[in-house]
Structure 1
Amino acid sequence: MLYRKPFLLFQLFLCVTSVSAQEYFSEGKNRLNFAKTYFEVGGQYSPKFASKTLDGNTVNPIQNSASLMPYLNIGGIHFWGHADFYISIPLAQINLRKNNSSDFMFNQSVITGARFLPLAYKDNRIRPYIGASWAVVNFKQKSSPDNTQPLFQQNKLLFDAGLIYGKGSWLVRAGINYNYANKWNYPLSATNFQEIKTPNWSGNVSIIYAIETTRSKNMEKENERLNQYSNVTNPTKGALKFGDYFIGVGFATSFMLSNSEYNNNTHPYFNKKAISKTYLDASIGYNFNTAGIVTALSYRNPKFENEAFGAKQTIQKNSFALEVYKFLTDYNGFTPYLGLNITYDNIRFSESQNFQKTFNQFNPGITLGWDILPGKTEQFFVLRTNLRWYPLSSIKINGQSFSQHQLEYNVIQAVFYPTRYKKSKKR
């Protein structure tokens, strides 16, 4: 995942500097001061923790050091100062003490979260918050002389609380994160599994820079028109054109949701529910503006890898999805949708010792997500988040089931409407 982080950062930068947020104004609550976008840079501290290594048949205790994790968050304070939605991108892991006989990885690679502020954010006021995030937590321990232990990854719900203070465009935040599920049944060898408890808390401090991107001082008439909409409206309200074509591109991650019978029997030391590397999610489609319906053809290429104790397993997918979904409502530009898709999957399964197998199959799925649309159907650059769920997907390896039941999560897709862009230039 690390080698694609620069591309993800660039994509997110383009997105949030285009249409995703608004500044708070004294004129009261309306559509264009519903949210405020920010960039956040900070560091997360995780304390040291006890672990184990294997010397022959003897299990020995060791101490893994405390660590620091610098990160970049991109998010928005929504609901007029009461809610904070964000994406967090951890940048590196810095271990504070070196161990010559063992090294470890304990970090997070995909984080999407939300925080609630009981008292709305205001300048020169300290405000408490509580929150939760959906994260991929990674753990790997490399111990001499083997150094071939696996990378374990888990989807986890993490909780946090803290304080935020700011003035103008600058804010500071300090908080504590809590992970209630911190036990790993980890293989020190192919047959020796031991329980390791990673830290169940961490602390963070950060600096935030908030920006205004939606309300333009040069478009006061347009601002006034948009602010006339009520908080909740029909997604098709105000649509002047039947429909528009669009193209979209973003990065996504897939999560296996079921265990594999084949891996449980053949490779019990592999990660139970594999998580893909970050991959490309590209689409082209047509938005029926007056009907609130979208049709799209999407391409994705997720790759799942497991490697440990001399065995390596790779699943490479090339998938095309034809999907149809409908916008359900519009709450100040937050526009959720729900629909169906049918996907054609080309799946290439390979393992060590030149074992390969290819599958071609169709799988039905569910598509759901939301657009950020403060500009209604006139907005030419849109932020789209979508999830695709495939509960029935499966393959057979040596007569044993290998579940492909998975959830695809496209954090942010940048969607561009060429005809809407041309129209905006004529105003």
Structure 2
Amino acid sequence: MLYRKFFLLLYLSLCFLSVSAQEYFSEGKNRLNFAKTYFELGGQYSPSFNSKTLNGNVVSFVQNSASLMPYLNIGGIHFWGHADFYISIPLGQINLQKNNSSDFLLNQSVITGARFLPLAYKDNRIRPYVGASWAVVNFKQKSTPDNAQPLFQQNKLLLDLGLLYGKGNWLVRAGINYNYSNKWQYPLSQTNFQEIETPDWSGNVSIIYTVETTRSKKMEKENERLNQYGNVTKPTKDALKFGDYFIGAGFATSFMLSNSKYNNNEYPYFNKKGISRTYLDASIGYHFNRAGIITALSYRSPKFVNEAFGIKQTIQKNSFALEAYKFLTDYNGFTPYLGLNITYDNIRFSENQNIQKTFNQLNPGITFGWDILPGKTEQFFVLRTNLRWYPFSSIKINGQCFSQHQLEYNVIQAVFYPARYKNAKKK
């Protein structure tokens, strides 16, 4: 798991070094100072909480320690200092006290978070903010001697508020997070479920470094040309070429949106709606510049694992999607799109050594997302966010439905256009 986090951090760092990051106020509000990128390193404090363990048939209470979770946020302050969009990656968990008989895991990774600053960010000014984030909250109770309890994961909406202060490239943030849905029906054994209430609040402090990468002193004429565009323009405006090929790669996660009848009946102590491990989403395609349409072939391999009380269940998918989508508008380089896809899925289902099954299916889906595209159809490096929704996918295990209704979320895909790069080098 450590190597996964290392490569994920390295990848995201390289991506965000190429996203728009500008000084806001020196030239007023224009296209190239719409957003500013940052890297944020911080710590989240969670208070101690009461939990439960099972000794024989007797339920006992145990106090879990307060904990500290270091994290890395990567994001951008948008709308000329009024909005903050980010993702968050947990870097571990430090329990502040040791308990020899019981341990726990409690952390969260923010898939997408947004904060609103009523007063636009400025140097040497304290600015309050309020926000919300779509997060995966992970919880596991580890009781000796076997630590066989499952890892539970839930999609939750978390709320936060705090203060932001900075000068130049450096900022500091202090805030409080609130989780209004903090109760878990958790299995202490295969048949004994108990309600465990984790903390409903946590505090965080962090330091932020902002970067400037889009504007170049060597490209002042190009900067001036792009800044002449209005806030809302056509994505195809001033397209010089019919189209360009591209390649792309990024990290993604899949989320099951429906419960499995099979697991509900056979293994009620498993996580209800599976969340995949992080996987690579790779694509190759063609961008019709003048039509504002993209066609692409993508490959993904999400893996879902449930493991508890001696049972390990794995679903490994290998999927190829043929998709086409159209850009809808361009707001200062934020360019949303919508389209359709058809996916060939090879699904391998295994459960210990008892069940081994393979399924081959075609599943229709919807593709939507957005590009960060300040340079329009001449930009050779693009940051793309893909979401794919598959409402009809399912398999059958022992005559029972196992829903594969899921949402694939490619947080950031790095997309490279070779021909555009050659044209830019000539300039």
- Name the TM-score, length of structure 2 as normaliser: 0.99
- Between 1:25-34 and 1:73-82, the stretch displaced more is 25-34
Paired position in structure 2 for 1:262:
262
Q: Which whole-Å CA distance do the structure 2 matches of 1:19 and 1:142 have between them?
A: 41
Q: Which whole-Å CA distance do the structure 2 matches of 1:197 and 1:2 have between them?
A: 29
Report deviation, 1:354. Answer: 3.7
Paired position in structure 2 for 1:164:
164
Q: Which whole-Å CA distance do the structure 1 matches of 2:341 and 2:216 have between them?
A: 37
Matched, 1:147 2:160: no
Paired position in structure 1 for 2:286:
286
CA spacing shift, 1:79–1:110, aligned 2, 3 Å: closer
Report deviation, 1:2. Answer: 4.4
Q: Which whole-Å CA distance do the structure 2 matches of 1:333 and 1:301 have between them?
A: 30
> Are 1:323 and 1:342, in contact at CA under 8 Å, matched by a contact in 2?
yes
Structure 1 SS opposite 2:230 = coil
Structure 1 SS opposite 2:15 = helix
Paired position in structure 2 for 1:239:
239
| Alignment of structure 1 residues 158-197 onto 2, 5 Å | 158-197=158-197
Q: For each residue in 1:117-174, what CA deviation from the matched residue of structure 2 results, as whole angstroms up to 9, or x when unmatched? A: 0000000000000001111000001112331000000011101000000011110000
- Between 1:341-350 and 1:108-117, the stretch displaced more is 108-117
Q: Which whole-Å CA distance do the structure 2 matches of 1:57 and 1:301 have between them?
A: 41
| Alignment of structure 1 residues 350-361 onto 2, 5 Å | 350-361=350-361
- RMSD between superposed Cα atoms in Å: 0.8
Structure 2 SS opposite 1:71 = strand
Paired position in structure 1 for 2:382:
382
Report deviation, 1:24. Answer: 1.6
Report deviation, 1:218. Answer: 1.1
Counterpart of 1:224, as a letter, is E
> Are 2:365 and 2:390, in contact at CA under 8 Å, matched by a contact in 1?
yes
- Between 1:352-361 and 1:376-385, the stretch displaced more is 352-361
Q: Which whole-Å CA distance do the structure 2 matches of 1:343 and 1:111 have between them?
A: 24
Q: For each residue in 1:161-198, what CA deviation from the matched residue of structure 2 results, as whole angstroms up to 9, or x when unmatched? A: 00000011110000000001101000000000000000
Report deviation, 1:352. Answer: 1.3
Q: Which whole-Å CA distance do the structure 2 matches of 1:8 and 1:420 have between them?
A: 27
| Alignment of structure 1 residues 186-225 onto 2, 5 Å | 186-225=186-225
Structure 2 SS opposite 1:219 = helix
Structure 1 SS opposite 2:7 = helix
Counterpart of 1:291, as a letter, is A
Q: For each residue in 1:251-296, what CA deviation from the matched residue of structure 2 results, as whole angstroms up to 9, or x when unmatched? A: 0000001000000000111000010000010000000000000000
Q: Which whole-Å CA distance do the structure 1 matches of 2:111 and 2:90 have between them?
A: 9
Structure 1 SS opposite 2:3 = helix
Paired position in structure 1 for 2:117:
117
Matched, 1:319 2:319: yes
Paired position in structure 2 for 1:299:
299
In structure 1, runs of 5+ residues without a counterpart are: none
Paired position in structure 1 for 2:89:
89
- Name the TM-score, length of structure 1 as normaliser: 0.99
Structure 2 SS opposite 1:202 = strand
Counterpart of 1:339, as a letter, is G
Q: Which whole-Å CA distance do the structure 1 matches of 2:109 and 2:356 have between them?
A: 29
Paired position in structure 1 for 2:59:
59
| Alignment of structure 1 residues 397-408 onto 2, 5 Å | 397-408=397-408
Report deviation, 1:17. Answer: 1.1
In structure 2, runs of 5+ residues without a counterpart are: none
Paired position in structure 1 for 2:129:
129
> Are 2:111 and 2:411, in contact at CA under 8 Å, matched by a contact in 1?
no
Q: For each residue in 1:57-77, what CA deviation from the matched residue of structure 2 results, as whole angstroms up to 9, or x when unmatched? A: 100000000000011111110
- Between 1:353-362 and 1:298-307, the stretch displaced more is 353-362
Counterpart of 2:337, as a letter, is Y
Structure 2 SS opposite 1:131 = strand
> Are 1:236 and 1:291, in contact at CA under 8 Å, matched by a contact in 2?
yes
Paired position in structure 1 for 2:331:
331
What is the total number of aligned residue pairs between the two structures? 427
**Superposed structure 1 runs of 4+ greater than 3 Å apart:** none
Report deviation, 1:27. Answer: 1.8
Paired position in structure 1 for 2:18:
18
Structure 1 SS opposite 2:98 = coil
Report deviation, 1:110. Answer: 4.4
- Between 1:233-242 and 1:21-30, the stretch displaced more is 21-30
> Are 1:23 and 1:215, in contact at CA under 8 Å, matched by a contact in 2?
no
> Are 2:325 and 2:339, in contact at CA under 8 Å, matched by a contact in 1?
yes
Q: Which whole-Å CA distance do the structure 2 matches of 1:185 and 1:19 have between them?
A: 42
> Are 2:131 and 2:159, in contact at CA under 8 Å, matched by a contact in 1?
yes
Matched, 1:373 2:376: no
Structure 1 SS opposite 2:213 = coil
Structure 2 SS opposite 1:203 = strand
Q: Which whole-Å CA distance do the structure 2 matches of 1:12 and 1:20 have between them?
A: 14
> Are 1:365 and 1:391, in contact at CA under 8 Å, matched by a contact in 2?
yes
Counterpart of 1:221, as a letter, is K
Structure 2 SS opposite 1:51 = strand
Q: Which whole-Å CA distance do the structure 1 matches of 2:55 and 2:202 have between them?
A: 31
> Are 1:20 and 1:383, in contact at CA under 8 Å, matched by a contact in 2?
no
Paired position in structure 2 for 1:32:
32
